[in-house]
Every structure is written in structure tokens, then in C-alpha cells.
Structure 1
């Protein structure tokens, strides 16, 4: 039997958020869980941030961004993130519903994907301070994008 060599690890970025229950605990637990995914380790994580919902209802969100090194493909990583959401009790009763945990794959190396299941880079990441500010904290090359004037009106508070 021929054994496939392991994949070269790819650096990916994941946005985390929650606004139901103990949102801060849910995000912290998800940050730890990222490191338990197969062939994946969490290499950096931002501070936690409190933000007002954007295009969503409910209480304020707790958000963060994590950098991971992964041997999973982008679709495999997305499925693993969705499994973590399910484990945290995520329900999707309607678009932009409040949530116990939301995990979005933002970037996967230099990869570009446009499929019904996954678009990379994440198509709305540059429009959201709750993504760009924590991303810039752990990936300095994103700092200029995080200062985009279009983000200035979005309330974000580092915890």
C-alpha cells in the first residue's frame, strides 16, 4: 500500500464570535478546541473584543481571530470548524441569528476558492471591524486594512 506524504502545513486565519450564553467562555473554549483538530495547531490568537452586532440582532458579540497551522485542506478545515460550532450548540434558525458560536475561515494561505460551500478569502472580512482589528493584532501586515475609514463607525472594544 502506498502511503501519501503528509501535507505541508498551511497558515490559516479563523474568526471566532459568540453572542449567546457565556460568549467569552465559548470563544475561549473554541480557541482551545482549534488546537485539537487533526493536523492543526493554534499558533496565535488575538485578544477578545466586544462588538455590536453587524447585520445581525441580539446582544453584543465577543470576537477574536486565531492563526492556525494546519495540514487539513480548506474544505476539511471548514467542516471541522462547523463541527465545533455544532458541539457548542450552534443553531441556524435564520440568517444572522444570534449564536452560541460562529467560526469563519477567513484566509487559507494564499488560496483563493469560490465554490457554493466556501469562498476564500472571506468575501466580507474587509468590511468588518470585528474581523480586521483582531486580525491586525496577530498579523501585522493587515494593520493598514484595519484602519480603513469604512470601519471607523463600527464599535469595537478590546477586553
Structure 2
């Protein structure tokens, strides 16, 4: 019978449990890409909130057959967040609230690193339980988005 590896001194089941550490890091070079991605999301979200959605259709082929992916409605959800309509953002895709919050936090972390030369770092090791919860959350989001197919098939937010 093969045993799973765990660090010496770790309690039994340590690989199953999530670990979260918060700290500060003096270097900004390691996380610039996350802040740049946040800047793109915030910039595009604010631009679409002000001038309207881009006239480009980014749906996957299954969308036209009525099969919704977990990411369907994510762009409209983020734009609704920047419009200040949290209820509509939730209707389009609950993950949009998380994406907008992470984008703003990543941009703020980038700016803090530029001006203060140090910024907060959140390190998450989900462990086996965390990965299972994430998988179940994605399945639940897929089921929820399929139930919102009527709303997601409309053009919306013009």
C-alpha cells in the first residue's frame, strides 16, 4: 500500500486542509502581471460602463445551441458592477463580483508597490478539500448559468 507524502512534522491530513498566509513583500516585480491584468479588467469594465459594450461577439459555439458555460455573462456582470448595479451583476454571473473585486485589489496592490515599494501578498494553498470545493462550486455555477440561459441569450446592457 502506497503512502502519500506529507512534510515531516505535519499533522495527519495536512495535505487535505487549505492554508492561507498574508504578508508583505518588498518586491513588486514578482506580481506586476496580476496588477496589469487588474488594470485591464478595471479599464475595460469602466470603459464599457461609460460607452457601452463592445460590438464584438465573444461567445463560444455551444452558446448558440443554448448550452451555457460557467463564464457566460461574466463580462456583463463585471460591467454591471462598475455601473453600481450589484443585483444585475449577480443575475448575469455571481463570479463577476469576485472578478471585479480581485481586479480592483490587484490594481491597488500594483499601485501600492509602485508608490510605497512594498505591498500585501496573499498566498493560498487550497489543499485537496479546497480543490474539491472549487470543483463543486464550478459545477453549481454551470447549473445556475444554464438556468439563466434565457437572460444570457439576450444582448443585454446596451
- Return the index of the structure with the highest Cα Rg: 2
TM-score, normalised via structure 2 length: 0.27
Higher helix share: 2
TM-score, normalised via structure 1 length: 0.27
Higher strand share: 1
State the structure with bigger RCO (CA 8 A, min sep 6), 1 or 2.
2
